[in-house]
Amino acid sequence: PGAAMDLFGDLRRMNKRQLYYQVLNFAMIVSSALMIWKGLIVVTGSESPIVVVLSGSMEPAFHRGDLLFLTNFHDDPIRAGEIVVFKVEGRDIPIVHRVIKVHEKGNGNIKFLTKGDNNEVDDRGLYKEGQNWLEKKDVVGRARGFLPYVGMVTIIMNDYPKFKYALLAVMGAYVLLKRES
């Protein structure tokens, strides 16, 4: 309760010009982050240029919480051994797994099968019913690099929503109340 009263006291003591300046500053930070994200989408060719590994299915290559950097250039052929992030119809969350088999047809169509390194069986059980192979249209991106465990913050915020809102409130309050010197 005391911290909340201090926050409101600080807001009341600010003049309108300072408050508008801080709100504008906050809006610029948010819009800059969105512009950087959209720029990454254009540069990488992937609708999601950065993803977090959510399970242990790719251990030891990637662990839960690793942050993956993706590209998705359609001219690049998909090869066995490559790690792809794909989205399956009926599932909201993309899956990070390795390509284990590739079938190329003479007309240029490619179909492929994936499997998690730490899984016993291939991914046919994860695909939509009746689907045995993935196609290029299913690929969100291909892993090009990673930062270990950096994505644990995202996992914690998803697992504990109250923590996420508290963190956002603290960050918002900091930006609004920070005074320029």
pLDDT category at 18 given cuts 50, 70, 90 is confident
Q: In what order do the strands lie in the sheet with 95-104?
A: 50-52, 67-71, 139-147, 83-86, 95-104, 110-115, 134-135
User: Is 167 or 81 the better-scoring residue by pLDDT?
Assistant: 81
Query: Strand pairing partners for 115?
Result: 98
Of 46, 66, 123, 138, the catalytic one is 123
Of 32, 46, 63, 97, the catalytic one is 97
Are 66 and 148 within 8 A, CB to CB? Answer: yes
Answer yes or no: 97 catalytic.
yes
- % of the chain with per-residue pLDDT over 70: 91
Predicted confidence (pLDDT) per residue in 91-140, tens digit = 889 999 999 999 988 787 899 999 999 999 999 999 998 899 999 999 99
pTM of the model: 0.76
pLDDT at 70 > cutoff 60: yes
Task: Collect all residues with Cβ–Cβ distance below 8 Å to 89 and sequence separation of at least 6.
Answer: 128, 131
Judged by DSSP in three states, 143 sits in: strand
Q: Which residue has the tokens 């051994």?
A: 81
Are 82 and 99 within 8 A, CB to CB? Answer: yes
Query: How many whole angstroms from its chain centre is CA 64?
Result: 13
The pLDDT of residue 38 is 96
Q: Could you tell me where the DSSP H helices lie in 48-136?
A: none
pLDDT at 69 > cutoff 80: yes
Task: Name the average pLDDT for the chain.
Answer: 88
The pLDDT of residue 59 is 95
Answer yes or no: 55 catalytic.
no
pLDDT at 2 > cutoff 60: no
pLDDT category at 75 given cuts 50, 70, 90 is confident
User: Is 23 or 146 the better-scoring residue by pLDDT?
Assistant: 146
Answer yes or no: 138 catalytic.
no
CA distance 46 to 43: 8
- The type of residue at 79 is R
Q: Could you tell me where the DSSP H helices lie in 52-160?
A: 152-159
User: Is 173 or 9 the better-scoring residue by pLDDT?
Assistant: 173
Of 46, 57, 66, 138, the catalytic one is 57
The pLDDT of residue 127 is 94
Q: Is 9 exposed, middle or buried (0-12, 13-18, 19+ CB in 10 A)?
A: exposed
CA distance 95 to 88: 8
Range of weakest confidence among 13-17, 58-62, 71-75? 13-17
The pLDDT of residue 87 is 94
